[in-house]
A and B are shown apart, each in its own frame.
Chain A
Amino acid sequence: MEKRIMTLLAVLFLFVGGALAQTKVNGTVESQDDGEPVIGASVLVVGTNVGTVTNANGQFSLTLPAGKNVLRITYVGMEPLEVTARPNMRILLTSDSKALDEVIVVAFGTAKKSAFTGSAAVLSSDELSKKTTANVANALVGTVPGLQMTGQSGAPGAGSGSMYIRGLSSLYSSVDPLIIVDGAPYYASLTNIATDDIESVTVLKDAASAALYGAAGAAGVILVTTKKGKTQEAIVNVDMRWGSNSRAVQDYETIQDPALYYETYYKMMNNYYLNQGYNNVRANQLANSQTLSRLGYNIYTVPEGQNLIGLNGKLNPNATLGRTYTASNGETYYMTNDDWTDAAYSNAFRQEYNVNISAGSSKSSFYASAGYLNEDGIIEYSGYERFTTRLKADYQAKKWLKVSANVGYTHGDQDNNPNMSTEWGATNLMYVTSYIAPIYPIYVRVIDPATGQPVIRTDEYGHPQYDYGVAGANYVGQPNRGFMSTSNPLGSNRYNTQNTLTHQLNQTYIADVTITDWLKFTSTNNLNLGQTTYTGYENPFEGPTKADHGGLTKYQSNSFRQDYIQTLNFTKTFGKHDVQVMLGHEWNKTSAKYLEADAHNGFSTEVKEINNFGDRYDSFSYTTEFNREGWFGSAMYNWSEKYFGSLSYRRDASSRFDKDHRWGDFWSVGGAWIVSKEEFMEGTKTWLDQLKVKASIGQQGNDGIGNWNYTNLYSLQRSGTDINPVFSRLGNSEITWETTTNLNVGLEWSLWKGRLTGGFDFYNKKTTDLLFWLNIPESYGTRGYYDNIGDIQNRGFELSLSGDIIRQKNIVWNVGLNISHNKAKILKLPESKTKENGGFAATSDFGSIYSWYEEGGDLNNAFLYKYAGIYTKDTYQLTGDTEFDESKAGMAMYWADEALLDESGNMNTSRPGTNNSYATTTSANASRYAFGSTLPKLNGGFNTTLRLWDFDLSATFDFQLGGKVMDSSYRSLMTPESGNTVSARTWHKDILNAWTAENPNTDVPRFQYNDDYTTLASDRFMSSAKYLNFQSFSVGYTLPKTFTTKFSVNKLRVYVQGQNLCFWSVRRGFDPRYSFGSTASTNVYSPVRTISGGVQLSF
């Protein structure tokens, strides 16, 4: 019922009750569509000026003047209805989709949807309430066509992933959309805003809608609007939900059985020794000893003098799991394996409470809310607690002056796990648990002399001792753990802590001055104060900081952001001409101060303050500032609400550019035509509610390259007590905005009284004067600088459809679908980057895949080796070998293009090959090839809502089709070891199907130690990026009002919701949502599954 409530204030009119009261009638006005009461509908006795409005329950009562008994009920968005009055009436209004004209939030104001010439997607609080997320950005995926997100983290309190609106609009500058909350730029995490406080989210995608944000809007704009009070009578809403978080990520199918793991490792070594020419017996011996010495730990007890793995490649039948040994320190240790994944993750409790109260009068409105969220992480010792309050009020102080204030406060308390980096390494828990060979213990175990049973060893303080895999400190006398010795993320989580406390106070003060009825001045002033205190503590009991007697890192950062906007609005209607003009100015500045101290050698383990530490070895402080200023104006015109035109212009300056190059001009022109209003369309009236054609073009800017790239920089290095400058970066004073020219053409329609609505947009975004990172020969002591050279283009379409398949009084079933397609192309590149090789190769910023860049080529054009199959008796000729080389049998082959050989016979891998001239088994001889765009072809989502009497149900899905992602995780799970550096990772089960003389019909190359090139980064590991994600569902039941009103409760709804429920991709464990190119960075906390139940109450 949001829309109906929203327009209430506009139709308020007060009636004087008739003096000639005769007959009393009463009744309820409800919506035919959903049976909800219509609040604020006007009820007028026809032929009189007697009337009233319905109350919050849709009820009305009035007294009929004598002789009058016909009531006319009107409500914005509903078909007017005349009925004969009688007592206890139930009046059903049907919606009038023509009349219904949504008002949406746009740049620096609001606009009627029909008059809007741009392209925007709106998400209402209704839709948001169906999702369980602490960060509203997560609710946009699959709902907003053209928006993609990668790398979301499920860590409690985490920010959003990277959002891309309509493709990748830049190569080297930021492609993050600009986020505006209640009119002012917002740089903090959206996690700081309670989703329950949000009225709507508007995503602006084209120039007509976003060019007013000038410099910052090239990558799209997300407008978040918080709720405000709007009812006449106070309404209190309470929402309480309780739920459980669980791990949503799937694991790859890896070897988890220790015996099979040892056998597989043995096989890798044995194959090598056989290939080196050793006989079976000798190879078996060498492979056994290498397996144990490389893996470090033997967790099987094998009878004296016997090998762990027999000549048949199988575990010795006499071997038993678990091994005891007595070390030189006299202790008897016990080694066995543990399930790391199991120990790392568990289900966690989540609770959230929100209460808000809203009220309004003809002069003022009021909204206040408080919320509390407490969410435990699925990894122990992590969690997030958030307390939010908001007070938003406005007051018509004078006839000409309206003031409003919106103050939101957030307090966050986030416990992070240490070892949560997204790099592949010891500091990534997910990496460790997913990749560790299934033979390693979590804890150091000893035999308890009293019982003879293995127990976890404890230290002098009674702490269970974690195994860091370092012999001296853990399993005394054993080799180091093969896998990531010195680390144990579970132990670090247990004894180390990382806490982030945040306070954020966001205040917006607005004054509206009505100068004349057609001229209004508005001053919007936003002040945002953010404070973060971080405490990182490392324990003195075990691990690397034991020798430091504990460590502490403490930092505090304070940020202050100011944003001042002044606008002058002119609105006038002359006959059928409707003109709106706005002029404005914006100035904003962000200033952040950072202070850090680091110390070692703590006294108490309970005091996590610097004062508790003796060796205060380091300290830091710095200030960062950023300033932007803009002048802007816009004009909107329509004739008879049939023809619409809009213009906008903004002139912006950024402190990121040199004085002489810091101002840029941005603009847009747009038009729309509501075809259905034309006379010649009269015949379609019965089925066509609205048909709108729109087009816009404009330019936006991007300055997202970080500060001071316009000048040469030195970095200061500390050396003892000295501080010395070292040249660090080359500046270019000429750099200025990169410009995106954005064309949008679209259609919007509504059929059969809103039964089927939809929109289609085509866009072409051309980014010119790219802020390009130009390399210089590194022999000049630095690697490059920025310049404005190069063009790219994103082109695509978006389609959204929504239809009521069933629309009856008690059953409404709606299905919605949106899809978008984007293709990114490189139009122009700097000559210096293409002169030598016709293009250049670099790791793409979008998905860390090595990519080939050439004019006319795709963006994210994978530049990889090309797999040519397995070297066998049937294929060896491909390599040019004149006879079959037994020692290469089963090796992976890669294509080479002989045209790329230089005069001394070296393969040039700086440019792509075109021919498959011959195959090779070594990387030095192989060519790289360009495989084309890795970006998905189609993205989208579908959702359905169903209302059955008092039950409501909704579900949303998102999906992706086309595109490829380098499955780096799978690749490393298929890689044999090489060299004397041991990785001791587990392997994917596909490795069991590797090529052998006995298993020749396979696509997996041989599995042999020291084969460096078995899994080169080739197209073999480019996996289809298609996926389907069951993102959320919600089932609710609203108790009958007749029942709840007995308890003065207006509405009582109970519900169950789920988030991130199920995920399907081409390979179990493979999640192409992390990035557009490669799964190389593995987020520890990939999206968490949340199932919760709750109660919503209104009274």
Chain B
Amino acid sequence: MRDSLRSLLRHRKAAVGGSLLLFFLLLALVGPWFVMDPTDLVGRPHQPPSSAHWFGTTGQGQDVLAQTVVGARETLAVGFAVGALVTLVGALVGVTAGYLGRRVDDVLSLTTNVFLVIPGMPLAIVLGAYLPSGPLRMVAVLTVAGWAWNARVFRAESLALRGRDFVSAAVVTGESHARIVSRELLPNMASLLGSSFIGNTLYAVGAQVGLEFLGLGDVSAVTWGTNLYWAGNDAALLTRSWWIFVPTGMCIALVGFALTLVSSAIDEMTNPALRVHKPAPLPKGTILPVHVDRPAPGVLLSVQDLSIDYATEKGASRVVDTVSFDLAPGEVFGLAGESGSGKSTIGSALLGLLPSSARVTQGRILFNGMDVTALEGAGLRAFRWRQVSMVFQSAMSALNPVLTLGEQFHDTLAAHGRVSRTTSYARARELLGMVGLSPDLVTAWPHQLSGGMRQRVGIALALALEPRLVIMDEPTTALDVVVQKELLQRMVELKQRLGFAILFITHDLPLLLALSDRVGILQGGKLVELNTSEGLRTNARHPYTQLLLSSFPHLIAGDVSVTSHAPATPELSVSRPSTRVAAIPGGHR
């Protein structure tokens, strides 16, 4: 809590908006004691600013400064009251509807939608006509006209949260509905509550001023809205008495500006996606000079002393640390490691897909003698997919949901040379057949396929340009074992037929040992062991490799069982500090 307050203060938008808002609040609270009575007719009408009346006088001879300062009090009081009420009513209705669902949701959603359809301003005018005059009338009118939109926002948010396991866990604990809503759901919406409150206050100030300007408020009260109403009535524009309406107008604009700043500051601070990162600069890399070697015979890919740093707020964080390995044409090379080991980062670096916060700070990646880390622009585009392609972990999100499979193949093929749609579709049918899918699926949409089928499409797409290396980043992690084996068998068969090499990245060491020719074990960004699968299986030397191997229970009897009273696995010693891992996006958990 203290941390979030501190970051609020450090935030420039929040600081500017907050101090402006604070100024107006102080003005509204103590200002009226320092100015004259705003209703007294203290001077001649329509007088420009003078030493006696700093902001001049109104069309009736009242002091404009006094009117502006005193007007702040009711305007802001009503604004914040309506902001709070609208947020409260909207949150209660929305969260109740979203959490309870079914019939309750039907009734509440219908009510909300009816209120949404009724235009707010006419509703407020009609309501205003029937209620007794006074500031409370304005509060009631604006709350009734404004809560519905909020209810929708909060309903959507609670629908998303309701599906989370911690809500189910609270139900299993035996918590009551009221407690789940108040202690489990609402605290998770704190930022939404905050920014809604500010946003609703903004709405309330605007709508209130609007209604009062039209003469629909209490015209005898002194508020910013009535100030403008009287300015209009007294023909301030016709008499060119700009001093009558400019101060009030400026105040309204500044309050609106301050509220907008605070609201967007809350959004930015709570939604990391909107935050502008200012990470510490990365150390200057010591990338080896680019010179094209003659490719060593029997080496397709050569990773040499590769180090990759992520820029974080706490400084550079080394994710890949002087990793070297070679890959022969047609070889299956496995990279094994746990979350945070840097295995996916290496895969991204090979395709030049590193996020902007990451950089290769040392070493180089040679593909067929060409330095991949030095590629840019058109060269990189030509290299990607044609030379090296990739199969991603989440088949679900790797395919574009709004394009048919044929279109996705056409996109891929057309990005690397002019092809007609007919040619693309023919090639797509051929590729789909190759991975064991029906060629007719070329007209299907991604959502019509199962997870295993989607991953087959992913492989077909990766093979579309006949690359020499396919990187597979956990391609089977989300799949069932039977589907996994079907997929892997198909892949091995295709590899033998087409002769591409595979870099297989996974946490599943037994799978990797069965699949790969050679395997590298990554721990905390370092390649701790590299050997043939056979060598690792029989003669793992590094303690971490041994730990990984013993962590997988086997079906065959005789290995270490979980029932044995071996000392508990030392979790912390093998995983990196969680703060460091948390700063690194991507990767499986």
Q: Do A and B originate from a single complex?
A: no
